[in-house]
Structure formats: C-alpha cells, structure tokens
Structure 1
Amino acid sequence: MMTSYDSAFRPVAKVLAVLLLTASSQALAQGYPSAPVKLITQGAPASGPDVVARIVGDELSRRWKQQIVILNATGAGGSVAAKQAIQAEADGYTLYLPAASAFIVMPEMFPALKIDMQKDFVPLGFVAEQPMVVGVAPGLNVNSLAELVALSKQKPGSLNFAANARGTLPHLTAERLKSQAGIDMTYIPYPGAAAGLQDLIGGRISVIVEGLGTLLGAIQSGSLKPLAVSSLKRLENFPNIPTIAESLPGFEATGWFALVAPRGTPDAIVQQVNRDLNAALESPAVKDKLGAMATIVRPMSTADTAAYLRKEQEVWRPVVKQIGFGAKN
C-alpha cells in the first residue's frame, strides 16, 4: 500500500536518478578518450571507406592524443562490420564508419540478421559525401547525357553499364537514372570500380557509374568522358561537368559516410565526439586530403545527422525494392 510519504518521494527519486545518470555520463566523458579507440569500416585496405576512415582517424588521433585503430571488417555487403559494431561495448571506444549502403541496402539484403541501423546505433556526426559520375568511353561518340539517353532509347538494352557491386550507391544511382530517364541499359556488376573501368576503356562495356574520386585519374587522362555528376549543383572544382539534374530536374545522389556508435553510448561522449569530429572536418589538412578524392566534408550536429540518415533511407527505399533485395519485397 502506497503511503503519502511514498507519493511525495517518488518524483524526487526520479529527479535524483536522472541527475546521477547525467553525472555518471559526464564523468565518463571528462577523461575521454583515455585509451586507443577502435574505428570499424566495411572497406578493404586502400578502398574509399578505408581511406576516409584513416584520414579522419588520423586527425582525431592527433586531437585526442590517442591512437585510432582501423579495423577493416569486410564482406557480406557490410553486415560483417555492422555485426562487429553492434556487439561492441557502448563506451565510446568502438566507433563505426558505415558507407551509405549499410543504411540503405543492408537491412533488405540480410533481413534475418535483424540489423536496424537507426535503432542499433546512435549517430555521432556526418563525415563526407561524394557525388557519382556517369561516364563513357570516348569511342562511344556520345557527348552529353541527353545523347546517351537518346542512344539508349534507340537501342533498348544494347548498352551495358558498369557499377560497383549490386546494392552499392553507384548501382542504385544508375538504376534510378534508368527509371527517371525511361531508358533500358544492362547492368554488369563488378567487384570494384577498377575492373569496370578497365573493361570500359577496353571497349567491352559502354557506360560506367561510379564515385567521382574513383574515376578522377581516368577523367584527367582522357580515357573516360564524364557526361554528368549526380550532385544537385555543378561542382566548384569541375564546373564544366553538367549535373544529371540539368536533364532530370531534382535528381541528386551521393555516396556518403557517417560516424556512429553502439546504442547506449553515453550522451556526453556522443556530443564530445560530434564536436571533435566537426572540428577535425574543418581542418585544412582533412579538407584537402578528402577534396583530392572529390569527397566533400559536411559537418553536422547529431540531430541533423539522424534526420539526414532517415531521409536517405526514404529516398532510396523505392529503388531498393524495385531491384528486388531481401525477401519478397
């Protein structure tokens, strides 16, 4: 039976519990980090995700005066890395840098794993994005996206296009382009951009859709002709490359990286990492190194990062279902 004393004390007890929890979280963050921090990425060594992780990790290591240990957990469409990150202690000493495909495609590809990127992780901040490029071999005699669309409509299904593995952002970008332009091209999956680019230059395929950073060397050497970028506006460093949106209004697609931690990580640590990450992204060294890969930093608050991730899932869900991942979608 509840007494009047119990009724009076209960609100006070709740307030005390909140204060104790907050104090404990702040105490954990005050000395953070006091040991090396692990950073999990789904990319293989020297891949785009790995390079981004190392550039950002080096700057955070310099600021924190603690080593950042990069863990390359490759395979199974990013699920190996996600499972490692989920199983880690939620103490701020294991961070996770997923590529966009982990949020957008992986839950559909591996529904049995029951990985929910929104519920299982807390966003620490947004890192960077990289627009896609639609490119062709010079020998195709196509000089614009409009000409490519026209050629594809004249010969439905006859043009082959390369994109990274099925379900990656380059692949999804190409599928969305096909849908919105009303064209039919045949997808040839490649395990990496280098193999697709080699076949394009060799004349075995006609079109490639990949991250701009991956194709920079081929563009600069003249072995690849860029027709359009997938950013909403023309890029400052590449003003002569039109956007897809100039032909298909509103079209925008970028590969991106965010930094997250296991759900339950103390909020004080989450906010500290967000502040330090944003400061790292604003450093000239990080901007220049990522800029050389055509990768654009985008510092965000934790709330804005969470909102961005939700929006990206909503934008790409129809495309993911259209190409048929997972169980009966």
Structure 2
Amino acid sequence: MSRVFIRSLAAACLGLVFAASAKADDYPSRPVRVIVPFAPGGINDILARTVSAQLSERLGKQFVVENKTGAGGIVGSELVAKSAPDGHTLLIVSIAHAVNPALYKLPYDSLNAFAPIAIFASSPNALAIHPDVPAKTLKEFVALAKSKPGDIQYGSGGVGGSPHLGMELFKLVAGVDLTHVPFRGAGPAIIDVSGGHTKAIMATVTTLAPHVRNGKLRALAVSGKTRSRVLPDVPTMDEGGVPGYEAGNWIGLAAPAGTPPAIVARLNKEIAEIQDSADFRQKADADGADIVKYTPAEFADFMERELEKWSRVVKEAHIKAE
C-alpha cells in the first residue's frame, strides 16, 4: 500500500470526523419533532415533554412533541423510521417498542431501523392480591398458585401492556399457572380485584399504592431491581423468592438509523444533564420511576435484550394481539 494512498485515506477519514463534528455543532438547524406514539397524559408523554422543553432551552431550537397514536405505537414509530436520519425527527420508545415485533407484522425493523440515543427512566409494576387470599408473602402466593393450577385469576389493564406481560413473565419464572382476565384499563381491573372477584393484579406502583395503603389490596412484590420509593416496605421479586425476575415499563429516545453518531452522542450528553435537573427528578418521582443513564451503545444492548425477552414471553404465553 503506497504512502500516498495511506495519506489520502487518513485525510478522508479525518474529513469525515470533522464533517460529523460540524453536523453536531450545527445541530439542530431547525425545529425538532419528538414523536410520542401514544396519547397525551401517560409517563411516556410527560417525560417526553419535560426533556423536550429543556432541550429547546439548551440547544436553541424548539423540540416539538407530537402525539401520533395508532396500532399500539406502530403508526408513530413508522413515521420516524422513514424520516431523514438527520436528528430532526426523534421517537419516544418504551416497552411497547420491544413487544410489538412479537405481536404484529411491522413495516419497519424495531432493532435496526433506529439509533438508540438515551433511556430516561424505568417504571416498575407491583403484584398485589385481595386481602382475603390466604397468602401474606410472595412465597406463600407462589405455593398457593402451584397447589391450584389455573384457579387463581389475575386482572390487568389489557392484553399486551406492561402489567400483562410482566405477569406472564412472572408465571414463567415462578413456574405457576394463573388465568388472565383483561380489563379496559387499570382502573376497572383494580375495582374488580378490590371487590374480591379476580384475586390478583399487576399494575404500576403509583396506580396500586393508594389501594395498598387503604388496605383494599395487599402488595406482595415490585418488579424492579430495587425497592420502589412509592412502596418502600414491599420487597422486590428477587427478595420475595422469585430470583431472576425483572420487568416494567421504560422510556427513552431514539432516532432513525443512520443518524450521525456525533448528533446521537450530543443528545445523549444533554439528556444525561437534564436527568440531574430538579424538574426531571420531580416528574420521575411523581410516577415512581427510577432514572436510568445509559450510553447509546448500552441502550442498544438493552433494547436487544428486551426484544429477545418479550419475544420469548409472548411466544411461550401464546399472547395474541387484540
């Protein structure tokens, strides 16, 4: 290989580095669309708006949140997957992003059509039962369920949601057989379990906490790696005797595949600093969410593991989209 060629190659590579750096320095050059593929009001939307408002201030251009709903998040995700990879159209991703490939035939590749930027937070669920169920602990509940395969019914806010999938993962890890009763939302499910009809429920810790505190439900475990600030006296699944269990919703940001790494890195850096702000922490705390900081590479690895995990759960639990 000639020295001239080597010098030319080195110059070309250096030019690419400078070009990428220039793109990051000039970014954003116009308003940025932040697509939330779900309706306003949930934690995905709340954290998206919190981060977008601060990115607007920090980067000097508006980051405009748009709710593009439909087909369990597919409509908004497809819009971003087919957008120009220049950092000016971004996508809020969550557990639905990892579950949808197992439930639907998608018009995009959930893993390869996107460049993960940063994860904002994770939001754990809790497993609770009606107080009349003869189980004071998670171990006792598992033993009871094993003694009556299929007899214990559990409610959730609907098929394919984080609580439903979390309970199906619990069944696989704990080796129990429970019967799913889906409702149209967590509220009706809680009413049914509080009335003693269905006997168990999995829902977000903030949704269940008031009913646990007033004695209408008994919380047995939370689904995260650590205990929840919202229900600090409730053990994790691991502490309760179901090791290797971890599940819950998570919220992050992604861009179309091919977005310059320098732009991805800059957004990741800005978001990490935003996560330390009082406003962001207040919003996360209000939903019982735990702040999570990943590099883009770590987030990509996490998303791949989530896709594999939930694909297995959907397949083994025979879950079908409704």
TM-score (norm 2): 0.89
| 2:237 counterpart residue number | 244
User: Where do residues 287-306 of structure 1 align in structure 2 (5 Å cutoff)?
Assistant: 287-306=281-300
2:58 paired with 1:63: yes
Q: From the superposition, tell whether residues 219 and 66 of structure 1 become closer, same or farther in structure 2 (CA, over 3 Å).
A: farther
Report deviation, 1:12.
Answer: 4.4
Tell me which residue corresponds to 2:43.
Answer: 48
Q: Distance in 1 between matches of 2:72 and 2:51?
A: 23
The answer to whether the 8 Å contact 1:108/1:325 transfers is: no
Q: Is the partner of 1:138 in helix, strand or coil?
A: coil
What is residue 312 of structure 1 aligned with on the other side?
306
- Structure-to-structure mapping, 1:149-298, within 5 angstroms: 149-236=142-229, 238-246=231-239, 247-298=241-292
The answer (yes or no) to whether the contact 1:134–1:207 under 8 Å persists in 2 is: yes
Q: Mark the CA change 1:275 to 1:168 in structure 2 (over 3 Å): closer, same or farther.
A: same
1:88 aligns with 2:83: yes
Q: Distance in 2 between matches of 1:135 and 1:115?
A: 37
Structure 1's unaligned 5+ residue stretches are: none
**Taking structure 1 as reference, are residues 163 and 278 closer, same or farther at Cα in structure 2, changes over 3 Å only?**
same
- Shift, 1:43, TM fit: 2.2
Alpha-carbon distance, 1:14 to partner: 3.7
Deviations 1:148-197 (A, max 9, x none): 22332343322221223323332221112112222221112234322322
Give, in whole Å, the separation in 2 of the partners of 1:220 and 1:58. Answer: 35
- Which amino acid in the other structure matches residue 24 of structure 1? A
Q: Distance in 2 between matches of 1:220 and 1:46?
A: 24
8 Å contact from structure 2 (residues 156, 181) kept in 1: yes
CA shift, 1:316, in A, is 3.2
Gaps of 5+ in 2: none
AA in 2 matched with 1:71: E
**Helix, strand or coil for the counterpart of 2:234?**
coil
Larger displacement relative to structure 2 (42-51 or 64-73): 64-73
Is the CA contact 2:173–2:244 (under 8 Å) kept in the aligned structure 1?
Answer: no
**What does residue 106 of structure 1 align with?**
100
Quick check: 1:147 aligned with 2:135?
no
| Distance (Å, rounded) in 2 between the aligned partners of 1:320 and 1:11 | 52
Q: Which runs of 4+ in 1 moved over 4 A?
A: 7-13
Deviations 1:8-33 (A, max 9, x none): 65544443443333333222221322
**Aligned pairs for 1:109-120 within 5 A:** 109-111=103-105, 113-120=106-113
Mean Cα deviation higher: 130-139 or 7-16 = 7-16
Q: Are the counterparts in 2 of residues 36 and 93 from structure 1 also a CA contact under 8 Å? A: yes
Task: Check whether the contact 1:89–1:262 (CA below 8 A) recurs between aligned residues.
Answer: yes
Could you tell me whether the CA contact under 8 Å between 1:197 and 1:208 is conserved in 2?
yes
SS at match of 2:207: helix
Deviations 1:19-76 (A, max 9, x none): 3333332222213224322111222111232122122223323323433222222222
In 2, Cα distance between the equivalents of 1:225 and 1:96? 37
Distance 1:189 1:282, change over 3 A: same
User: Which amino acid counterpart does residue 312 of structure 1 have in structure 2?
Assistant: E
**Residue 127, structure 1, aligned to residue 120, structure 2:** yes
Q: Aligned in 2, Cα 1:51/1:194: closer, same or farther, shift over 3 Å?
A: farther
1:15 and 2:10 aligned: yes
**Residue among 63, 69, 77 paired with 1:74:** 69
Hey, what's the Cα distance between the residues in 1 that align with 2:192 and 2:230? 27
The answer (yes or no) to whether the contact 1:39–1:70 under 8 Å persists in 2 is: yes
Q: 1:238 to 1:117 in 2, by over 3 A?
A: same
Task: Check conservation: 2:103, 2:314, Cα contact below 8 A.
Answer: no
Provide Cα deviations, 1:66-118, integer angstroms capped at 9, x if missing partner: 33222222222221121011122211111111111212x2112223x352222
How high is the TM-score relative to the length of structure 1? 0.88
Residues 1:62 and 1:135: Cα distance change in structure 2 (over 3 Å): farther
In structure 2, C-alpha distance between the alignment counterparts of 1:312 and 1:42, rounded to whole Å? 19
1: CA distance between counterparts of 2:39 and 2:71?
12
